[in-house]
Amino acid sequence: MTEANDKPEVTLKSGSALEKTYVSGQFVCTGEVGPPMESSFHHVELFGNAMKGRVDSINLTDNQTAMTRLSSWAAAVKLIQMGLEPNLQMVCRDRNRLAMQSDLLGAYALGVRNVLCLSGDHQSFGNHPGCKGVYDLDSIQLINMVKRLRDDGCFECGAECKNNPKFFIGCAENPFGDPFEFRAVRLEKKIEAGADFVQTQCILDMERFVLFMERVRERGLHKRIYISPGLMPVKSAKMARYMQHGVPGMLVSEDFCQRLEKAENGKIAALDLTVDYIKQCQQIEGVSGVHVMAVAWEEVVPLVVEKAGLLPRPFAPFADNPAPITDEIKAMWAKAKVDGYLARN
């Protein structure tokens, strides 16, 4: 870790805390908030606050699972107002290149520095299944568009963009999708297109992820992109089983399901599993951090992060002064019977 600090100063592409942490060689830890299906920032504020000083950057999902939600850029700006660092997710499903670039200009002007480029779940999964899916660009073309805006100062059409946005560019990759042999190659395509970091689909099958990382290292990709595996505390054994069979592109190992099934307290076991997976990821060559994506269970991120020994965060806003846990969050912990989690051995 210190070695990286001794390196001559590198020019940062965006200057975000996320980028600084990756570049410094310190282990990155990011969180995620799914904006709500209502016109209110309560949810974003509540969970943003819970993660304040405990993660380097917070992803804001973009109409996650194709459900209409408060816009990711508005939620990102809310986090900036709170002094936090957002990572703006952007999917290709809902907007064409005009709208995406216009949102990128606006988001950057309002202080957003990280963007995560995704294809997006198919619209038929969501609450407007008959809507028109846009897919003007795919995720790889989107990555390249953001890179050209940053590095060439030009729009997708080639025309000059003054005061061009300089984002730290993220992508996703799914080590559990098929064809497996192609997944590392596809990551390489994303690197070629301009991705600086990748947050993977959540790891619920460690063996497969380890295999994926082997492929990544064979191609030397870990030297060209920062890699944060996604880690998801899964609330119940039932949910793990559902994800094992019912969610396309996901693999959940038998071991993962059984550890939840056999546990006396499933919620505690879920947190333990996540912490355990984080520690395993730290041992894998080429992994630069973890992305804690507690989907619909955001309140446990502070517990997981602290238990995994990831505090204090080196460059995160409020790192030396994490926000106190609010009563509302404490009540949520108590309800799920995880309130004593940090005191456990």
Where are the alpha helices (H) located in the chain, listed in sequence order? 2-6, 17-24, 42-51, 72-81, 97-109, 139-147, 180-193, 206-218, 237-246, 254-262, 266-282, 301-307, 327-335
- Applying CB under 8 A, which of residues 37, 105, 153, 189 lies at the interface with other proteins? 189
Binding of other proteins by 137 (CB under 8 A): yes
Instruction: Please count the residues of this chain forming the interface with other proteins, following the rule CB under 8 A.
Output: 37
Of 20 and 190, the one with the shorter C-beta distance to other proteins is: 190
Closest CA to 301 of 335, 278, 282: 278
Residue 96, number of CB atoms within 10 A of its CB? 12
- Applying CB under 8 A, which of residues 81, 125, 255, 312 lies at the interface with other proteins? 125
Residue 159, number of CB atoms within 10 A of its CB? 7
- Applying CB under 8 A, which of residues 8, 130, 158, 248 lies at the interface with other proteins? 248
CB of 91 to other proteins, least distance (A): 10
d(CA 87, CA 57): 6
Binding of other proteins by 145 (CB under 8 A): yes
- Applying CB under 8 A, which of residues 19, 173, 196, 205 lies at the interface with other proteins? 173
Of 94 and 272, the one with the shorter C-beta distance to other proteins is: 94
CB of 201 to other proteins, least distance (A): 6
CB of 274 to other proteins, least distance (A): 21
Residue 136 phi, psi (nearest 5): -65, -45
- Applying CB under 8 A, which of residues 188, 196, 205, 272 lies at the interface with other proteins? 188
Near other proteins in 197-216, by CB under 8 A = 201
149 close to 101: Cβ distance less than 8 angstroms: yes
- Could you write out the DSSP letters of every residue in 256-276? HHHHHHH-SSHHHHHHHHHHH
Closest CA to 231 of 259, 203, 272: 203
CB of 179 to other proteins, least distance (A): 5
Binding of other proteins by 222 (CB under 8 A): no
- Applying CB under 8 A, which of residues 20, 43, 54, 93 lies at the interface with other proteins? 93
**31 strand-pairing partners:** 58
Hunting for tokens 């917070």 — which residue is that?
58
Closest CA to 44 of 29, 23, 64, 59: 59
Of 116 and 332, the one with the shorter C-beta distance to other proteins is: 116
58 close to 87: Cβ distance less than 8 angstroms: yes
CB of 337 to other proteins, least distance (A): 33
- Applying CB under 8 A, which of residues 40, 182, 238, 255 lies at the interface with other proteins? 182
Residues that bind other proteins (CB under 8 A): 92-93, 97, 119, 121-122, 124-125, 133, 135-141, 144-145, 156, 172-174, 176-179, 182, 185-186, 188-189, 192-193, 201, 248-250
